[in-house]
């Protein structure tokens, strides 16, 4: 006699465009065994291309087995010292202060701001959404990987969530290093990697419309 596989109950979280399309952000789902079972169990139609999954705040493959009580986050393609998300306007000097070191010969910075024209349309503002517990953890992991690759003193990344007006900063990165080459290279890699991998999503709100912008934006 073959024992049946126990099906489990998990908490599913949706973000950004998935959340809006479904009309909910969190739901209990039962009768699933693996990550691949989650999307069909939601009854939301065809699975979006590029969808990623995180189980208990770590990215997981579709064949990963689930345990009772797991938290499964569905990650739409992503748009994006100290690593923080803030609903308040960014203090652009704060990350610079956080990476200051007597060993540093250079501090490289990047500030991303909201532009008024994008994709041929007039933008009124941006809305950023994040999976905060996972995003801040992954920003810290990103900094660790940069410090392993370059000779750095410190890395700081601050990112807005919520509404960001035209001309306002949405992200600030600061990297300190003994030499400018490493500071500049690591700062560029930090913002490029953040936009590709961190669970942050950007909605561009236009005059007469809006659109969630995906990975690499």
Would you kindly state where each structural domain of the chain is located, as residue ranges? 8-75, 83-213
- What distance in Å separates the CA atoms of residue 24 and residue 134, rounded to the nearest whole number? 20
DSSP for residue 105: S
Higher-confidence residue of 92 and 16: namely: 92
The reported pLDDT for the residue numbered 48 is 85
83-131: pLDDT as tens digits: 999 999 999 999 999 999 999 999 999 999 999 999 899 999 999 999 9
- What distance in Å separates the CA atoms of residue 206 and residue 213, rounded to the nearest whole number? 12
Read off φ and ψ for residue 90, nearest 5 degrees: -75, 140
Q: Which of 119, 15, 3 is closest to 71 using CA atoms?
A: 15
This prediction has a pTM of 0.79
For 8-75, the fitting CATH number among 3.40.50.970, 3.40.47.10, 3.10.20.30, 3.40.190.10 is 3.10.20.30
- What distance in Å separates the CA atoms of residue 161 and residue 61, rounded to the nearest whole number? 27
Q: If pLDDT is split at 50, 70 and 90, which confidence band does 76 have?
A: confident
The reported pLDDT for the residue numbered 74 is 93
pLDDT at 81 over 80: no
Centre a 10 Å sphere on the Cβ of residue 26 and count the other Cβ atoms it contains: 11
Q: Which CATH architecture has domain 83-213?
A: Alpha-Beta Complex (3.90)
Q: If pLDDT is split at 50, 70 and 90, which confidence band does 149 have?
A: very high
- What distance in Å separates the CA atoms of residue 70 and residue 12, rounded to the nearest whole number? 9
């Amino acid at each position: 006699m073959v024992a049946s596989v126990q099906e489990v109950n998990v908490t599913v979280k949706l973000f950004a465009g998935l959340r809006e399309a479904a009309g909910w952000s969190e739901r209990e789902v039962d009768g699933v065994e693996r990550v691949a079972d989650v999307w069909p169990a939601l009854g939301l139609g065809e699975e979006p291309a590029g969808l990623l999954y995180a189980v208990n705040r770590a990215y997981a493959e579709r064949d990963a087995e689930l345990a009772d009580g797991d938290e499964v986050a569905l990650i739409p393609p992503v748009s994006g010292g100290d690593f923080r998300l803030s609903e308040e306007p960014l203090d652009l000097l704060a990350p610079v202060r956080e990476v200051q070191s007597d060993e540093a010969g250079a501090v490289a910075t990047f500030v991303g701001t909201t532009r008024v024209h994008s994709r041929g349309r007039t933008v009124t503002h941006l809305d950023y959404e994040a999976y905060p517990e996972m995003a801040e953890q992954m920003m810290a992991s990103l900094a660790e990987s940069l410090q392993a690759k370059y000779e750095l003193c410190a890395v700081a990344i601050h990112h807005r969530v919520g509404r960001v007006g035209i001309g306002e900063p949405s992200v600030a990165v600061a990297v300190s290093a003994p030499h400018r080459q490493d500071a500049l290279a690591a700062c560029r890699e930090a913002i490029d990697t953040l936009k590709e991998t961190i669970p942050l999503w950007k909605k561009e709100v236009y005059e007469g419309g809006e659109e969630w912008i995906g990975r690499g934006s």
